[in-house]
Chains A and B, each alone.
Chain A
Amino acid sequence: MKFFPYVFKSLFRKKTRSLLTLGSILLPLFVICVMGTLLRTLERQPTGQGMFRLVTRHKVSLSNWIPEAYRARIQQLGGIEDMSIWCWFGGKYVDYSAKNMFARFGVEPEKLLKVFDEARVVQGSAADWIQDRSGAMVGDALMKKYGWTLGQKVVLAGDIYPVNLELTIRAVYTADNASALFFNWAYVEEALPRVKGRIGTFYIRAKDAEAVARLPKQIDEMFDNTDAPTKTETEKDFQNGFVSMLGNVQLMLTGISTAIVFVILLIAANTMSMAARERLNEIAVLRTLGYPKGTILGMILGESLLLALLGGFLGLGLFALGFPGFKAALMNSPMAGMAAGMRIFPSVLAAGFGVAVFVGLVAGIVPAVGAARRSITDGLRQVG
């Protein structure tokens, strides 16, 4: 600590360069944190009963229906707590702009609350929703986004299903991802009898891990030779399937983050090399005064580490400050579903901090070793 004033003052002897380098660490770290958060959100394993949820859909694509009658046969396989139909309605709310896009599903209210049991009703009641055929249960994030209130009517204009739904908000739920609107699928079936008996997906809550492992294969084998073969997977795999439609997002995010780390490293290393080169004379003077090589190495390395950590803390701070705005922006986009589950993950902050430490150490090590190893007489010959 005795050397800290020297290290700190040395860091800012070229203020413009140090500030530019700080910026070159700060901003990429902010981006790394954003991407890390996206990645972490995508990778996050469901907790609680969500771990035991399976999704069964048509093997070919989500746009193909499967018979509702599969339910009885699936239930015969055992190990199932409950299951609910889960149909994407699509349609239009106000207009087709991205900011008005949110998840709208037709479900069986009573069953949904058993399958999706981490959802907690925080306004209105589940009973009100179950009793009202045209009722809806809305996530609190969505309520907040649109400023809706309990009892308010929400009109969804159908497109896939040519029917306009006039829904009344009867319950508000909260959960990790509380950005969807659920309504009773029976409402659509009554309005459009031709869709009766055909559904998009089943959400199944298995009783235990054994059933989670066993059921997908059993279900899919059971319907393999039918007109509507199925694909059953865990909820997480199902959700990741959407993400993978964009390509290998995880690989892409990881690749970009790695490239960014490498760029920061080069910039910081360049700064530290210049800083050490400009001070050859000064370092030689310090060694003349009796500063051992190890202390010189520690001081240069400390300077590099301090620079990276300052950039790191500012970058992480900027991310923490900007996160609510970033999340709010995503909530107004088609990524609202994913955004709802986003939060500041300590592991992402720790990774950002780790990147800063890594950059500080690696960027400083070469100039530090070079400065410490140079002969004193050579250094003294340099004009200070």
Chain B
Amino acid sequence: MATPLIQIDSLVKQYTRDTQVLTVLDRLSLNVEDGDFVALMGPSGSGKTTLLNLIAGIDRPTSGRILVGDAEVSKMSEAALAKWRSQNVGFIFQLYNLVPVLTAYENVELPLLLTNLNRARRRKQVELALSVVGLADRMDHYPRQLSGGQEQRVAIARAIATDPKLLVADEPTGDLDAKSGEEILTLMERLNAEFKKTIVMVTHDPKAASRAHRLVHLDKGVLKEDVHAEKGKAVGMAAAVSASAT
């Protein structure tokens, strides 16, 4: 059996407020296979986003171990993490988080500015990423000139511009109407199936979760359910997981 892309072992994340210690993730262990599409579900405060941030290396665990590929993310220095993120992780946010003063092209180019690619090579990469998300004709548009769905597609283009192995998405359809949400999920499915991206997605939406191959349900920082789905059965499974959470 191949080594999982993400290996999480006894992960603990605690926050301290005044004298109170709040445990957000409690000895959580989880593996994610290379090429998998995982939906993290659970009620608010269950630790989904914290887990996503820890996997993506933008937060540090209190204890435990996170291995992504060959990189032990939980032990890397801040500078090393920044470099690792720029090469290995693509981020998709709920509110798209595009830079408003930059065009779609410039937004997608942002992660590429950290590479050694020359201008022409960067342009190729940006154009390719924008064509994958179907916005090659909108590269000179500013975020304010795009619809929510289009903005999220630009954000996805930015996430895949450096061709990372892992995509993390935090409620990628949470701010979109149903139609745009469907389009984004279809795009993510395509990135997973066609471009072999491993995707970890936080969502509250059973419909969104149903597109994943696997549902991981968290509650109060503990893994409650971990369900591998067969295509076609996912909707019912996600609904069941969602129902069990409430």
Spell out A's residues near B (CB within 8 Å). 2-3, 5-6, 9-10, 12-13, 281-282, 285-293, 295, 375-377, 380, 383-384
Contact = CB atoms under 8 A, between A and B. Distances in A.
B82 A285 contact: no
Contacts of B78: 293
Contact of A285 (B56, B93, B113): B93
A292 B85 contact: no
20 contacts: A6-B99, A6-B110, A9-B101, A10-B101, A285-B91, A285-B99, A287-B58, A289-B85, A290-B82, A290-B85, A290-B87, A290-B111, A291-B114, A292-B79, A292-B82, A293-B79, A377-B59, A380-B97, A383-B95, A384-B95
Contacts of A282: 97, 99
A282 B93 CA distance: 12
Contact of B83 (A10, A290, A376): A290
Contacts of A291: 82, 86, 114
Contacts of B222: none
B110 A289 contact: yes
Contacts of A281: 97
Given A9-B101, A282-B99, A289 B111 contact: yes
Contacts of A5: 102, 106
B53 A285 contact: no
A2, A285, A290: which has the most chain B beta carbons within 10 Å?
Answer: A290
B102 A6 contact: yes
Contacts of B113: 2-3, 6
Interface string B45-57: 0000000010010
B11 to A, nearest CB: 16
B100 to A, nearest CB: 7
Given A9-B101, A376-B58, A290 B53 contact: no
A10 B78 CA distance: 26
Given A290-B114, A293-B78, A285 B97 contact: yes
A264 to B, nearest CB: 25
A15 to B, nearest CB: 11
B91 A289 contact: yes
A12 B84 CA distance: 32
10 interchain residue pairs of minimum CB distance: A290-B86, A9-B101, A290-B85, A376-B58, A285-B97, A289-B111, A13-B101, A292-B82, A2-B113, A290-B82
A377 to B, nearest CB: 5
Q: Is the interface of A mostly helix, strand, loop or mixed?
A: helix
Nearest to B88: A290
A370 B126 CA distance: 31
A384 B95 CA distance: 8
- Report the interface size class on chain B: 20 to 34
B103 to A, nearest CB: 9
A281, A285, A293: which has the most chain B beta carbons within 10 Å?
Answer: A285
Interface of B: 53, 56, 58-59, 78-79, 82-87, 91, 93, 95, 97, 99-102, 106, 110-111, 113-114, 158
A288 B102 contact: no
A103 B99 CA distance: 64
Nearest to A294: B79
A376 B85 CA distance: 13
B143 to A, nearest CB: 10
A293 B85 CA distance: 13
Contacts of B101: 9-10, 12-13
Contacts of A6: 99, 102, 106, 110, 113
Given A285-B93, A289-B111, A289-B158, 7 more contacts: A3-B113, A13-B100, A287-B82, A289-B85, A289-B86, A376-B53, A380-B93
A291 B101 CA distance: 18
A247 B82 CA distance: 59
Nearest to B122: A2
Given A376-B59, A377-B53, A384 B82 contact: no
A290 B99 CA distance: 15
Contacts of B91: 285, 288-289
A281 B97 CA distance: 8
Contacts of B56: 288
Contacts of B114: 289-291, 295
A3 B114 CA distance: 10
A380 B91 CA distance: 12
Contacts of A380: 58, 93, 97
Nearest to A379: B58
A22 B78 CA distance: 36
Contacts of A375: 59
B102 A9 contact: yes
Contacts of B83: 290, 292
Contacts of B97: 281-282, 285, 380, 384
B99 A288 contact: no
Nearest to B113: A2
B133 to A, nearest CB: 17
Given A6-B102, A377-B58, A384-B97, A286 B110 contact: yes
B117 to A, nearest CB: 10
